[in-house]
C-alpha cells in the first residue's frame, strides 16, 4: 500500500533525526518538555506557530516517536464546541496511556476556532490545559489571530520559520533517490524556489512531475510547478516590507498580508521605531503612514475606492523607503501594544456601552451623547456622593457591574446604600 501513499505522508520524518531544520524550535520544545516533566514549566501548554508547510504537525509526530509517547492528535474540525472537547479530549488528557507509555495531546489548527460560532471551544481548551495530566501541544498558522488570544496567553509560543530552499532541495533529493527517479538538481532548486518555503507543496509538485513523466527536469519543473500566491502572517509582512530593496517588493508585502489594512496599519505603526533608528527616517515613515491613514479615512467617508492604490502605496513603499540607505536588518517583532490594551479594557468598554444603551432609552438621546456628556458626570457623582449614586442606580436599574464601573473605589459604599430599602418601600 505504501507505493500508493502521497509522498508527503510516505516520507514524513519518522523521528527527530530525519526532521529537517527548525533547530531553534526543536531546542525550545525539548527544553519545555523536560521542564514540564519536572513540574517546572512556566506554561502548561505550547503553541507551535508558523506558515503552512513548515512542518509543525510532522515535528509533533516525530517528537512523539523519538520519545516513545502515545500521540493523541485532533484537528480543529473535530473539537470545535465545548461538548466535543469534553467528550473526546478530556478523557484522553486525564487518563493514562493503555500501553504504559507517556502521552502527548496535540490539537492542530486551533486558529480555525471561532469564539462565536464554536461556542465555548476556547474556554474548554483552557480548562483542558489546566486539568491535563499530559503535555498539551497546539499548532496554528497564525498565532496572532485575535480569536485565539486566550490560548496564546496560557501557552509558550514557539515559531516555525519558512524553510530555506537548500533545506527543501535536500529533502526532495532524498525522496528522488528512494523512489529511484532521475531528478536534475536545477529542477529541484526551481521547485524549491516556487514553493516559497512550503515543503508540503514542494513534495506534491515533485510527485506530480515524477509520476506523470517518470523524470524531473528543469523544463518540466518550470512547466508544471507554479508560484504560490501566499498569504503571510503580520511579522512576515513586516520583515518583507522593512527589508524591501525594490518598490515592487514593498507592494507585494502589503498585498500578501493575511490581515485587513486597518490591522496592518497598527502593526506597521508600532514597529517603525523598531526598524528605524534615525529620527529623520522615523519621521518620514510616520508621515507616509499618516497620509495613508488620511486616504483610508476619505475612502470610508466618500466610498472613493479609487484612492485605495494611493493609500497602499504610502503604507507600503512610502514607509519602506523612508530610510536613507539599504541594509538588511532582522528585528524581533511583538504583538502590538494597542491590541493588548484593547483586550484588557474590553470588559470596561462593554460595560460603558451597556450603560449608554440603558440611559439612552431613558433620556431619549443617542448612545454617543451619553458616552461623551453623561457618563463622565455620573462617574463624578458615583465617586463623590455614594448615597445619591445609589438612588440613581436604583432609578435607572443599573447592574452591580455597572455600578462598579462608575464608582470605582467607592463601589462598595454605593452598593451598601443600594442594599438598604428605599423610602418608597418603607412607606
Same-domain status, 145 and 197: no
CA torsion, points 414, 418, 420, 422, in degrees to nearest 10?
Answer: 120
Same-domain status, 185 and 314: no
Same-domain status, 321 and 405: no
CA distances for 356 relative to 52, 174, 226, 332, 352, angstroms:
44, 65, 54, 41, 6
Same-domain status, 270 and 320: yes
Same-domain status, 145 and 45: yes
pLDDT in tens, 266-324: 999 999 998 888 899 999 999 999 999 999 999 888 888 888 889 999 999 999 999 88
Same-domain status, 267 and 356: no
Give pLDDT, residue 239: 86
Same-domain status, 30 and 128: yes
Same-domain status, 147 and 182: no
- Domain final position from 159, 179, 197: 159
- Domain final position from 270, 303, 336: 336
Q: What's the CA gap between 345 and 258, in Å, rounded? A: 25
When the pLDDT of each residue in the chain is averaged and rounded to a whole number, the result is: 84
Whether 17 is in a domain gets the answer no
Give pLDDT, residue 260: 81
Q: Give the domain extent around 175.
A: 165-224
Statement: residue 190 has pLDDT above 50: yes
Same-domain status, 307 and 406: no
Number of domains in the chain: 4
- Domain final position from 336, 362, 387: 336
Whether 332 is in a domain gets the answer yes
Task: Please name the residues in contact with 278: beta carbons below 8 A apart, sequence gap of 6 or more.
Answer: 323, 324
Whether 7 is in a domain gets the answer no
Whether 148 is in a domain gets the answer yes
Same-domain status, 40 and 106: yes
What is the DSSP track for 185-232?
HHHHHHHHHHHTT-HHHHHHHHHHHHHHHSEE-HHHHHHH-------B
Whichever domain contains 65, its CATH number is 3.40.50.300
Whichever domain contains 194, its CATH number is 1.10.8.60
pLDDT in tens, 134-146: 899 999 988 887 7
Statement: residue 394 has pLDDT above 80: yes
Share of the chain above pLDDT 70, in %: 88
Give pLDDT, residue 3: 55
Whether 9 is in a domain gets the answer no
pLDDT band at 116 (very low <50, low <70, confident <90, very high): low
49 and 139 in contact (C-beta within 8 Å)?
yes
Selected residue with higher pLDDT from 236 and 391 = 391
Q: What's the CA gap between 141 and 223, in Å, rounded? A: 29
Distance from chain centroid for Cα 14? 28
Same-domain status, 245 and 212: no
Tell if the pTM clears 0.85, that is, is over it. no
Amino acid at each position: 500500500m505504501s507505493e500508493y501513499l502521497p509522498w508527503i505522508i510516505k516520507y514524513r520524518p519518522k523521528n527527530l533525526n530525519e526532521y529537517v531544520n527548525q533547530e531553534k524550535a526543536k531546542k525550545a520544545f525539548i527544553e519545555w518538555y523536560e521542564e514540564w516533566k519536572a513540574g517546572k514549566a512556566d506554561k502548561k501548554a505550547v503553541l507551535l506557530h508558523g506558515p503552512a508547510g513548515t512542518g509543525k504537525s510532522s515535528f509533533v509526530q516525530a517528537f512523539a516517536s523519538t520519545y516513545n509517547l502515545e500521540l493523541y492528535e485532533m484537528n480543529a474540525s473535530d473539537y470545535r464546541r465545548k461538548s466535543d472537547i469534553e467528550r473526546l479530549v478530556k478523557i484522553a488528557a486525564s487518563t493514562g496511556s493503555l500501553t504504559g507509555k507517556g502521552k502527548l495531546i496535540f490539537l492542530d489548527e486551533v486558529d480555525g476556532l471561532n469564539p462565536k460560532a464554536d461556542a465555548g471551544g476556547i474556554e474548554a481548551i483552557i480548562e483542558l490545559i489546566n486539568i491535563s495530566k499530559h503535555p498539551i501541544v497546539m499548532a496554528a498558522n497564525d498565532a496572532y489571530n485575535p480569536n485565539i488570544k486566550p490560548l496564546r496567553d496560557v501557552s509558550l509560543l514557539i515559531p516555525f520559520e519558512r524553510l530555506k530552499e537548500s533545506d527543501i532541495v535536500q529533502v526532495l533529493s532524498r525522496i528522488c533517490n528512494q523512489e529511484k527517479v532521475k531528478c536534475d538538481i536545477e529542477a529541484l532548486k526551481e521547485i524549491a524556489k516556487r514553493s516559497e518555503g512550503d515543503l508540503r507543496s514542494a513534495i506534491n509538485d515533485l510527485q506530480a512531475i515524477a509520476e506523470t513523466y517518470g523524470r524531473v527536469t528543469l523544463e518540466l519543473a518550470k512547466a508544471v510547478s507554479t508560484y504560490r500566491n501566499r498569504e503571510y502572517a503580520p511579522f512576515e509582512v513586516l520583515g518583507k516590507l522593512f527589508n524591501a530593496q525594490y518598490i515592487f517588493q514593498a507592494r507585494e508585502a502589503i498585498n500578501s498580508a493575511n490581515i485587513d489594512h486597518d490591522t496592518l496599519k497598527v502593526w506597521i505603526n508600532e514597529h517603525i521605531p523598531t526598524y528605524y533608528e534615525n529620527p529623520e527616517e522615523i519621521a518620514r515613515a510616520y508621515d507616509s503612514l499618516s497620509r495613508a491613514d488620511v486616504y483610508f479615512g476619505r475612502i470610508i467617508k466618500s466610498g472613493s475606492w479609487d484612492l485605495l492604490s494611493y493609500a497602499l502605496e504610502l503604507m507600503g513603499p512610502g514607509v519602506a523607503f523612508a530610510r536613507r540607505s539599504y541594509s538588511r536588518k532582522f528585528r524581533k517583532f511583538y504583538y502590538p501594544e494597542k491590541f493588548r490594551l484593547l483586550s484588557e479594557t474590553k470588559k470596561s468598554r462593554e460595560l460603558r456601552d451597556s450603560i449608554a444603551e440603558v440611559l439612552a432609552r431613558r433620556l431619549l438621546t443617542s448612545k454617543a451623547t451619553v458616552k461623551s456628556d453623561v457618563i463622565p458626570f455620573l462617574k463624578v457623582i458615583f465617586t463623590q456622593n455614594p448615597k445619591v449614586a445609589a438612588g440613581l442606580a436604583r432609578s435607572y436599574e443599573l447592574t452591580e457591574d455597572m455600578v462598579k464601573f462608575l464608582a470605582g473605589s467607592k463601589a462598595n459604599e454605593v452598593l451598601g446604600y443600594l442594599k438598604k430599602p428605599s423610602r418608597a418601600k418603607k412607606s
